[in-house]
């Protein structure tokens, strides 16, 4: 199972996702040791990638082409909802990145952050920590 965590700018959201994911996966791995899980950090810039690698990603790659290629090779893509919106995150998400992620066959499990001009109906006003907990729970359910 390959999980891509995509982030940009300082990589803080991706870092938190990976830390929580690693914590939850270590609890589950004892029960299901036969499932190999790779967490792949995909950053739009080297700072974002580096922060996610520090958080415990299995591997990482940086830039538009890396995200385009890897989004077609993973089972799950995770990150802020802005990764599907062209020109979001101060322009770090190109049309190519958004298209590649949006058209990938991977399951997309995204954080509904309202920083890219998208308001998602039905989403409660929660703290980022609560949203990350929910996101990681969805990923764990998808794996097991």
Q: Write out the CATH class of domain 2-143.
A: alpha beta
Core vs surface per residue 27-37: b (16+ CB within 10 A) or e: eeeeeeeeeeb
Domain locations in the chain as residue ranges: 2-143
Which whole-number Å values give the CA distances from 95 to 12, 100, 124, 143, in the listed order? 22, 8, 28, 29
Indicate whether this model's pTM tops 0.75.
Answer: yes
H or E element that contains 66? helix 64-70
Calpha distance 134→142 (Å, rounded): 12
The pLDDT of residue 114 is: 74
The pLDDT of residue 32 is: 60
Residue identified by tokens 């922060």 is 51
- Ordered mean pLDDT values, 10 residues apiece, the chain (144 residues): 97 98 80 82 98 98 98 98 95 97 98 82 87 96 92
């Amino acid at each position: 199972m390959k999980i891509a965590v995509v982030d940009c700018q300082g990589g803080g959201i991706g870092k938190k996702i990976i830390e929580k994911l690693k914590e939850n996966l270590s609890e589950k791995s004892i029960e299901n040791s036969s499932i190999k899980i790779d967490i792949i950090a995909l950053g739009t810039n080297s700072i974002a990638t580096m922060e996610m690698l520090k958080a415990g990603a299995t591997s990482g790659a940086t830039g538009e082409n890396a995200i385009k290629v890897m989004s077609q090779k993973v089972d799950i893509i995770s990150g802020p909802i802005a990764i599907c919106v062209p020109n979001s995150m101060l322009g770090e998400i190109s049309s190519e990145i958004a298209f590649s992620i949006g058209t990938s066959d991977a399951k997309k499990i995204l954080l509904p952050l309202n920083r890219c001009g998208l308001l998602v109906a039905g989403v409660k006003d929660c703290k980022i920590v609560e949203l990350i907990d929910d996101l990681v729970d969805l990923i764990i359910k998808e794996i097991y």
